[in-house]
Structures are given as structure tokens and as C-alpha cells.
Amino acid sequence: MRAAAFAKRNLKELLRDPLTLFFGLGFPMALLGLMTLIQRNIPVHIFELDTLAPGMALFGLTFMALFSGLLLAKDRSSALLARLTASPMTAADFLLGYLLPMLPMAAGQTAVCLAAAVALGLPPSWNLLAAAASLLPSALLFIALGLLCGTLFNDKQVGGMCGALLTNVTAFLAGIWFDLSLLGGPLHAAAYFLPFAHGADAAKAALAGDWAALPVHLLWVSAWAAAVMALAVLLFRRRLTER
Amino acid sequence: MNAIEITGLTKEYAGRRVVDKLELSVPAGELFALLGVNGAGKSTTIKMLSCLTAPTQGDARLMGHSVTKDSHQAKEILAVSPQETAVAPNLTAAENLELMAGIYGRPRQLAAQVQAQLGLDRWGGTRAKNLSGGWQRRLSIAMALVSQPEILFLDEPTLGLDVLARRELWSVIRGLKGRTAMILTTHYLEEAEALADRIGVMNAGRLRAVGTAEELKALAGCQSFEDAFVALAGEEAAS
């Protein structure tokens, strides 16, 4: 009940911020359109929709980290969180309240991104639904990363961490723009140690109907998501009771 | 019955004692004003009582619930209006009040009732960030009232309000006396004199004197309450 009331507030705060709508929906769609346009004008196959669209859907989810992190960090710096901390809300209520509104936003963003890809020429198939579903662990991962950053940093720092660093790391190490095998050696190993490339590969595999490749990627991302969420919960609890 | 029982409440930050062995009882329904110069320890005391910061030593019981051992139960019956305006900026005034009703499990009608009680009806559909400072302040106080708390902590509630708004809020606070125990901190001496059943003067973390406004004037040997406050707070500060 408390978590639901708080989640409702957080959803309204997010949806009423025009920047959220622009970066959440517009920016990934614009990039997808731009890359497709570039592909149509170059002779080599770099930005094909069947690999680009799942990658862009993953990239769009990085903004979930920014939104959840900023919301939590701004709340932490305001007296509103002090008021709510003096209420019977528990740490679980707080975190559920921040997490729940992000999930429909992530689902909506993925749906819009994949629909845009279909409009640009990606053949529609049931595998699109599987690709969207395969992005759920990645959505949880980015939301958890946002909550972790929001717990540790102020809103300006969260802007830098999630808005600049995380988006760039994801863009480069998820294999969205280029084949990761081009990196070679340690960078390739680092990319596949981190969860982002696995998140993109899971969505690509689902879209291609390569079900055998799916579990390992999903497990890898899920393990990272669980670990980051556990750390976020632990640190948030500590902050809340650090009285 | 005492709503608030404070025993040896102490807070230290990095070895510096900001509240020093506070002892105080506030009966149910009483409005107790806590006065003191800046840095006297008033806000830290409110933070400890509202379970926002843990005491270094000592304890306080709110309707029998310890703020150190039973803080979840204590939080069910207390509400706080922080010194800073504490509203959700992108929510309307009505939504802010409904948020608090939802968090405390109270019916939504209570939110509408408090909205009317504090004259917020005409701003109900306005986002909090678009309200003037004074109306935001009033909304912030209204949010503390939605849960119908048994104990209410008001940390400088009328700071930034104009005279009319202040008087209206005084009327609301007077209406709560008798059914809600309140501790109010303020720098406005006339506010304490006008509203409080008893007044405590804090300085350097210690409660220097407690009594009615008349008792404090008699204690300090002064005609005006302001002189009495200066004498009590200043004299003790020098000691």
C-alpha cells in the first residue's frame, strides 16, 4: 500500500518531466532513424535493422538508470525524503516505489523502439515480442544501476555517471554500433565480462529466433542485475538507517 | 498521560555535543515551544524525536514507543513538518496530500478535508512547484496533518509566511491543541508566547529553563517575554 502510493507519485514525477519523455522515447528513436539513413547511403552492411534495433532498444534502457538515479538523488537532497523517512515507510517500500514505475516505462520504451524499427523496414514477426521480453533483465539492471548511483551520489553526479559515462560505456561495449570482435583482446573480454553486450546479444538472439544462444546471455545479465540490485538495497538501507 | 517522555537525550557529531542530556515530558494535547538561538540544538532534537537521526545516548518515548528500539511504531503516530518545505514538486497540491494519505493508510477524504482546512482548495490542482513560497509552506504543513498524528513536530512552521498566513496557521495549530501533542520550534517569540502551553529555552544543547511565558518572565525578572528570553538564553550562554 505504502509502496504503491509512493510508486504512483514517482510515476507522475517522471511522466511530467518533458526531458524524461524526450530522452526516454525520442532520443533512441531518432538515433535508430539516423543510423538507418546512414546505412542506406553506404555500401557496407554496418547498421542493419535486425542487429541495430535490439541494440538501440538496449541503449534506450540506459536512460532508465538516469531517470531512476536522478529521481532518487533529487529526493535525497530534498526535505520530502526526510518527511517520508519519518513516516512508517520501510526501505523495501522506498525501493519498490522507485522500481515499479520504471518497469512500465522501460516496457513502453522498448515497444516504441521496436515499433519504430518495423516502421523503418524491420520485418514484423512474433520474435519481436521475444526480443522485448529478453530485455527485461537488462531493464532491471539499468534501473538497479540508477538506484545504486542515486543512493551514493547527488543529482549532478548522477547526471554525469548515468547520463554520460553509463550511456557511453553501454554504447561502446554492448556492440550496438559495431561488431565487438573488432575490439579484440582485453577490451573484447571486458565487454563480455560486463553485462551490456550480453543484454544486446540476448535481444539479437531472440529476434533471430536463436533460442539456444539465449539462456547464457540472459543468465549473465540476470546475475549482474541481481548483484547490483542487492548492493543498491544494502546501501540504501544503510543510508536510511544511518541516523 | 505524557505523550512525549525524553530521558537523557544526547547527540554528538564528530565528538561535538549538540544536544546534551535533554530531560522533558510533554503531556498529551500540550503544545510545547522550543526556543533558542541558532545552533542551540532545537532542530537536532526534533530530528531525534522524529526518528530521523539516532541519539548518541538517551531515549525518547512517543506514546510509550521508544524512538531507538521501536521506531516503526513511533513513526505510525508522529508527523513532522521539516524546517525546509517538503513537497513533491511535480505533483499538484491535492496529489501531495493524497500521497501522504496513501502512505499512512488514511482515506482520501482526509486529504480533501485538510486541504479545505488550510485554505488550499483553490490551489488543489496546481503543481506544488508553481505555488508561491508561502503556499508551498502551507502545503508542507498540511501534509503533516493528513495522517492525523497523535504527536506533531513543527520545525519553524511559519518561517517565510506573511503575517496573514501566519495568523491563519496559528488558528490551525490552536485547533489541534488538546488532541495532538506538539513540539514547535520557532525564532518568533510572539509565536511561542501566543500559542504555547509551555516554553523551553535551549542553549548550547541544554534545556536552560522550562515554564509558561509568565513563569519565564518571572524567572528572569523581566517585564517582556523578549527580555526574558534574552536574559535566559544569553545568561546561560555566557556561563
Least CB-CB distance to A83: which of B76, B102, B143?
A: B143
Chain A partners of B67 at a C-beta cutoff of 8 Å? Answer: none
pLDDT at A242 over 70: no
> What is the total residue count of chain B?
239
> How many Å apart are CA B133 and CA B120, to the nearest integer?
13
Q: What is the pLDDT of residue B61?
A: 97
Contact A84 B103 (CB under 8 A): yes
CA distance B145 to chain A (A): 12
Contact A83 B88 (CB under 8 A): no
Q: What is the pLDDT of residue A174?
A: 87
pLDDT in tens, B137-196: 889 999 999 999 999 999 998 887 888 888 888 998 999 999 999 999 999 999 999 999
The answer to whether A212 faces chain B, any CB pair under 8 Å, is: no
Least CB-CB distance to A12: which of B51, B95, B143?
A: B95
Contact B50 A86 (CB under 8 A): yes
A179: DSSP letter: -
pLDDT at B238 over 50: no
Contact A87 B75 (CB under 8 A): yes
Helix (H) / strand (E) element for A121: namely: none
Of A176-190, A199-213, B186-200, the poorest mean pLDDT is in: A176-190
CA distance B91 to chain A (A): 7
> pTM of the full predicted structure?
0.85
Helix (H) / strand (E) element for A166: namely: none
Q: What is the pLDDT of residue A184?
A: 78
CA distance B100 to chain A (A): 8
Mutate to test the interface with B, among A8, A9, A19, A71 (most CBs of B within 10 A): A9
What are the b/e assignments for A166-180, b being 16+ CB within 10 Å? Answer: bbeebbbbbbbeeeb
Give the Cβ contact number of residue A189 at 10 Å.
Answer: 11
- With CA atoms as reference, report the closest residue to A158 among A60, A58, A72, A82: A72
> How many Å apart are CA B75 and CA B78, to the nearest integer?
5
Q: What is the pLDDT of residue B237?
A: 47
Greater confidence, A42 or B220? B220
Chain B partners of A88 at a C-beta cutoff of 8 Å? Answer: 72, 75-76, 103-104
Q: What is the pLDDT of residue B235?
A: 57
Contact B51 A17 (CB under 8 A): no
- With CA atoms as reference, report the closest residue to A217 among A202, A207, A203: A202
Q: What is the pLDDT of residue B236?
A: 46
In sign, the C-alpha dihedral spanning B49, B51, B53, B57 is positive
DSSP string of A139-159?
HHHHHHHHHHHHHHS-HHHHI
The answer to whether B80 faces chain A, any CB pair under 8 Å, is: yes
Contact B103 A87 (CB under 8 A): yes
* Residues in contact with B54: Cβ distance below 8 Å, sequence separation at least 6, in sequence order: A243, B48, B68
The answer to whether B219 faces chain A, any CB pair under 8 Å, is: no
The answer to whether B50 faces chain A, any CB pair under 8 Å, is: yes
Give A161's pLDDT tier (boundaries 50, 70, 90): confident
pLDDT mean over A141-155: 94
Chain A partners of B127 at a C-beta cutoff of 8 Å? Answer: 16
So what's the ipTM on this one?
Answer: 0.88
Greater confidence, B236 or B17? B17
A-B contacts (CB, under 8 Å): 78
pLDDT mean over A30-41: 79
* Residues in contact with B104: Cβ distance below 8 Å, sequence separation at least 6, in sequence order: A87, A88, B76, B146, B147
The grid coordinates of residue A127 equal: 520474435
On whether the CB atoms of residues B146 and B101 are closer than 8 A, the answer is: yes
Contact B75 A80 (CB under 8 A): no
pLDDT mean over A120-143: 95
Contact A88 B72 (CB under 8 A): yes
On whether the CB atoms of residues A55 and A174 are closer than 8 A, the answer is: yes
pLDDT at B219 over 80: yes
Least CB-CB distance to B86: which of A83, A88, A243?
A: A83
On whether the CB atoms of residues B147 and B111 are closer than 8 A, the answer is: no
* Residues in contact with B127: Cβ distance below 8 Å, sequence separation at least 6, in sequence order: A16, B89, B90, B91, B92
On whether the CB atoms of residues B123 and B94 are closer than 8 A, the answer is: no
Least CB-CB distance to B82: which of A9, A83, A89?
A: A83
The answer to whether A88 faces chain B, any CB pair under 8 Å, is: yes
Contact A83 B80 (CB under 8 A): yes
Nearest CA in chain B to A81: B86
A 67-86: CB under 8 A from B: 78-80, 82-86
